[in-house]
Amino acid sequence: MRPCSCDTFVALPPSSEGQRVVFGKNSDRPRDEVQEVVYFPARDYDAGAKVECTYIEIEQAARTFAVVLSRPAWLWGAEMGANEHQVCIGNEAVWGRESADGDEALLGMDLVRLGLERADTAEKAVDVITALLEKYGQGGSCMEDECNFTYHNSFLISDRKEAWLLETSGKYWAAERVEEGYRNISNQYGITTKIDKEHPGMRGYAQSKGWWDGKTQFNFAEVYSLLTTARIEASGSRYCEGKKLLEKSTGHITAETMMDILRDKESGINMEGAFMTTGSMVSVIPKDPALPGVHYFTGTPDPKRSVFKPFIFVSYIKQCKQTCSPSYGLDDPVKKKPRFQNKPNRKHPLFLKHECVAAILETARERGKKIAQKMEQLEKDKMAEMETFLSEGVEDLTLVVNLFSNSVEEEMSVYGKS
């Protein structure tokens, strides 16, 4: 089972406006899967502490950074998120020559969260993820009710000054630094001959498998993928369409630009069908470390009929209960054998409200139009408010400590009793 899904984007100056890094991702997952938006504060741990990831337990770090995550509600890890140091990470499923079947280990989504919790720069996140990959491996089903849906992972990672593309195949990996311009990734390998970091045994392993002769220039995508570079760049792919959309606005890419790209249905980036866009994220990170980053999340399916709501890292943020799914603890089927049976209800309050008005929004009826207009205005007003913080900073932290929660409440009030 290899659905084409997920797209992640980053734009850095001079492609982006205002000396800002703009990051965006659509999470394309099974259409009935609920995605929640959750916050975890920074925390210190005792020596020898352990952390239970989706399938396996690993050693905990001495300290974890505060993170905000958009994640499938049954998972420990996340599809995308950011941390208090303005590191952003999104992952994609990739398949290549190496089989993705294997024992349960760390999921790519676990590695997203672990990278955010343990790294204060994009480059350090590459180091964290690759060290964990080599120590614990990657593997396990990536769907709650499908035992054989497995894949390798690629990651797009950004901070205030640069971005990194990290692609994996089993325990082997290659990474490329992106210092300016734009970059996008989809469900295919994209690192070619510019490799800035790599697994020390990556080339030797490829040569031992007969994928590379050891003489010609090493091209990671062509060696580890089933596709040639020409096929990767083929016209009509989501990767190519996303690249075109970025190129169209290069020099002027803003949060609004990124949201428009994530909402684009014609390109397939805003996916519909058995797999659909179940959550979206856009982050705006000023190069100036004195200014806050703003992270927008939908927490609901289909960004075209969702509101991007802002989040800013400050002290004393509380969990937004309206985007948190019910917790089943040790009774959760994911934590039991056999897994993937009796899937519980994971719908959070915002999802339930959004689900109720979905049919109305998709019709041309007057009521649907009014709701859609109010949603658009709410998002527009929030973005205008955030522009002040992005340009001038936040003097009164009390103004933003409940920013995301209050924005969710405002969105739910727009839905009313629908």
Instruction: List, by residue number, the catalytic residues.
Output: 6
What distances in angstroms separate CA 222 from CA 149, 212, 230, one per listed residue? 24, 9, 10
Cα 336 from Cα 344, distance rounded (Å): 13
- List the one residue out of 144, 114, 116, 124 whose CA is nearest residue 52: 114
Coil, strand or helix: which one is 195? coil
Under 8 Å between Cβ of 15 and 250: yes
Question: What token pair was written down for 375?
Answer: 């949603």
- List the one residue out of 164, 167, 197 whose CA is nearest residue 179: 164
Listed in order, strand segments (DSSP E) in 208-301 are 275-286, 294-297
Question: What token pair was written down for 220?
Answer: 């990671």
What distances in angstroms separate CA 104 from CA 54, 55, 138, 142, one per listed residue? 9, 6, 7, 10
Under 8 Å between Cβ of 39 and 66: yes
Coil, strand or helix: which one is 394? coil
Neighbours of 342 (CB within 10 A): 7
Please enumerate in sequence order all residues whose Cβ is within 8 A of that of 15, keeping only pairs 6 or more positions apart, or say none. Answer: 180, 181, 182, 246, 250, 251, 253
Rg of the chain, C-alpha, whole Å: 20
Q: Quick one: how far is CA 126 from the chain centroid?
A: 15
